[in-house]
Structure 1
Amino acid sequence: MGLNADEKITEGVNAPTFVPSLPIPNVQELVRKDPLHIPERYVRSQEEMVIVKDVSSHSSAIPVMNLSLISDGNKEELSKLDVACKDWGFFQLVNHGVPTQVLETMKDAAAKFFELPLEEKSKYSVTSHDIQGYGHAYVVSSEQILDWYDALLLVVYPKQYRKLEFWPEGFKDTIEAYSSELKRVAEALLGSLSLIMGMQKDTLLGLHKELVQGLRVNYYPPCSMPDQVLGLSPHSDTSTITLLMQEDNVSGLEIQHKAEWVPVKPIPNALVVNVGDVMEIWSNGKYKSVEHRAVINKNKARISHALFFFPRDDVDVKPFDHMIDAQRPKMYNTVRYGEYLRQSMSRKMEGKAHTDVAMIET
């Protein structure tokens, strides 16, 4: 997601549009009508469905960071943050200060929305020229293999870019509270990331001109043959950073680490944080925007809540000069963020293939 350069005053007036997605069936409805049938367009090859082996040691090694210590400038915790972004590109965040009630209310409201009849949810369906609303993204071809999910996609900040007609009735205050709390967390993390990159605390936040925030609530229905489908194809995020809330009792997120898929086991009330492509480019590849995917549960539905934080469309993103040296030559060209975002959305999710446009050919 990304936003147009010109500023608006009225909510929803001339709000930005994104690369639209082709219309496809509602997966939740497919399962409701025939739980045992998997349409051919969702079936993956054996090569794609690499099964996670016994990587419990890797899973337990995914860094767990303490935002309270990070924000206090604790040197040991800041050093751990640097290593987490460099070696993993992912970490789980605890002591982040978001009230448990805010998290639980968001989970409850999302579950109630997806439990509504299709006719009710369809009132918020994406339009033919955008992806905000209820539906899908990154479907660009009638031949591509589809992911096993439905989603609600919204731009939350800045407020003047909201399209409130896509915010479900009874869900608005909850989204506002949840997104506001996580915006605070994201700003704190960006401040600390600035420091460990050797810059002033407000440098990264200032480079955004305006911190844009997109919400994606994913609903993954159960599947009778989960080893044949994926909830989300492997991809990296085009954001600066992403904050994700998982279910406490249903896992599904997996990340690439040392050529293996490692499950990110939920920690109650923790937030999962990952480095996005923008941070990878700014750090000249020191911090990794890592491929991740979502797998499906046979018996239980799963809902995840992702908030993407990214620059406005008119921001030029390039490696910082002080991140370039003889050991790490310049790896990326300057990209205009809006153009980078939209070229990634004009293709299916396919690992890190969309980052090619930013890479310097060697």
Structure 2
Amino acid sequence: MNNLDSYPPILRLPNNQSQNLHDPNDKMDPNPIQDPDPIPIIDLKSLNHKKLDEACKEWGLFRLINHGVPITLLEQLQDLTKQLFSLSFESKQEACNESPITYFWGTPALTPSGTAITRGPQNINWVEGFDVPLCQLSQFQHHLPSLESMRLLLMDYATHLSRIATTLFEAMAKNLELNLKSTKSYVSEKTGLVRVYRYPCTEVGWGMEVHTDSSVLSILNQDDHVSGLQVLKDDQWLTVKPISNTLIVNLGDMMQAISSDIYKSASHRVKVEKDIERISICYFVFPGDDIVIESSKYNPFTYNEFRAQVQKDIKALGHKVGLARFQLNQDC
């Protein structure tokens, strides 16, 4: 796992050449508050609608317990992901040449064609990963044993995560008293994707800079032993500690828009560690192609329109603007 040949060349820089990505205009304390576990806990087996509503309004993120995903499956995914990342950089590139899986590094942002946007060493995120569109998993088999094993595990995992996303979204829609024709269309199975991430060891820089997700919901299976995820709460950064057999759910931009800003899209970032790598596996789900997001705060838009605007802004400005582009009575 520590073999430099397994990393993309741009991530093989010595620590003293790494770039500090801290924004000089960011006045917030860069050192997160340490707390036993400040993150709200939601029990999926006995779902408390009031607690869920409070977590969505105040945090945009919560820890999910009794989620029904076998712990053996979570552990197998983590172990296989580590094996996959330990392959040589060239092997990982070649393995994804003729498959729907995209291999990326330096940024998780993808162009509409599925090509990773590659950044230079001055502004990279210290991360590499695979982007896996779940609706295409059953349509291919891979000659690389680790990728084929990953494909089979993810097919099982996707079934569980789709169930969780649907259950949570239906509860949120009920709390918000939304009149939606089909709640499942807002967390469509065919839009689900998984990104697996590896964050290398480095002394300076961020694994992922401050951002919000574009999804309705993002569901994270993070490394049981290595922390790194931080969430912004009341202008302070809190570390989301790794706790075995729990999942972290955060709301994305689509959920904030659907709720007319009653619920929040969680701002978060990933800190890298000096001496240990971190692995995480995140499931993202989006509205179906024909779903128009209608809100009292935003002009009507589809997720495809939102995604296209995000990619346009990343290319032109170097960063995501997001929901501000769709606000009512704005000129940007």
TM range (shorter): 0.7 to 0.9
Give the AA of the match of 2:65: V
The alpha-carbon deviation at position 97 of structure 1 amounts to 0.8
Q: Quick check: 1:154 aligned with 2:132?
A: yes
Give the Å deviation of 1:28: 2.5
CA drift of 1:214 comes to: 0.9
Per chain length, whose mean CA-contact separation is higher, i.e. which structure has more relative contact order (CA < 8 Å, sep 6+)? 1
2:123 pairs with 1:145: yes
Partners of 1:351 and 1:293 lie apart in 2 by 14
Contact 1:253–1:292 (8 Å) recurs in 2: yes
Deviation at 1:206? 3.7
- Alignment equivalent of 1:269, drawn from 245, 262, 270: 245
Contact 1:313 1:339 in 2 (8 A): no
44 and 32 in structure 1: CA distance in 2 versus 1, 3 angstrom threshold: closer
Whether the 8 Å CA contact 2:7–2:88 is kept in 1: the answer is: no
TM-score (norm 1): 0.77
Is 166-175 or 280-289 further displaced after alignment? Answer: 166-175
Which ranges in structure 1 are unaligned for 5 or more consecutive residues? 1-25, 71-76, 320-329
Matches within 5 A, 1:22-171: 28-30=7-9, 35-39=14-18, 42-45=19-22, 47=24, 52-53=30-31, 55-57=33-35, 60-70=37-47, 77-125=48-96, 132-136=101-105, 137-138=108-109, 139=117, 145-157=123-135, 168-171=147-150
The one of 315, 319, 329 aligned to 1:361: 329
Residues in 1 aligned to 2:31 and 2:20: alpha-carbon distance in whole angstroms = 21
Counterpart for residue 339 of structure 1:
305
Unaligned residue ranges in structure 2 (runs of 5+): 110-116
* Partner Cα distance (2:42, 2:21) in 1: 35
State the alpha-carbon separation in 1 of the partners of residues 216 and 222 from structure 2.
20
Aligned to 1:188: 167
Letter in 1 for 2:165: A
Summarize the Cα distance change of 1:351–1:153 in structure 2 as closer, same or farther, 3 Å threshold.
same
Matched to 1:188, the amino acid is T
Q: Does the aligned pair in 1 maintain the 2:67–2:164 contact within 8 Å?
A: yes
Q: Distance in 1 between matches of 2:75 and 2:130?
A: 18
Query: How far 1:32 sits from its partner (Å)?
Result: 8.3
Q: Deviations over 1:297-356 (max 9, x none)?
A: 11000011010010133321122xxxxxxxxxx311111210101221344498862222
Tell me, in whole angstroms, the C-alpha distance in 2 between the residues paired with 1:248 and 1:206.
32
**2:196 corresponding residue in structure 1:** 217
Change (3 A) 1:122 1:143: closer
Aligned residue number for residue 245 of structure 1: 221
Q: 3-state DSSP class of the match of 2:265?
A: coil
Deviation at 1:95, TM superposition (A): 0.4
Structure 2 contact 166–187 (Cα < 8 Å) conserved = no
CA distance 1:204–1:169, shift in 2 (3 Å): same
Per-residue deviation, 1:143: 8.6
- 1:152 aligned partner, one-letter code: F
2:237 counterpart SS class: strand
- The superposition leaves residues 145-199 of structure 1 with CA deviations (integer Å, 9 ceiling, x where unpaired) of 1100001001103768x67669923321112122222111111112211221224
Q: Aligned partner of 1:147: which letter?
A: N
Name the TM-score, length of structure 2 as normaliser.
Answer: 0.83
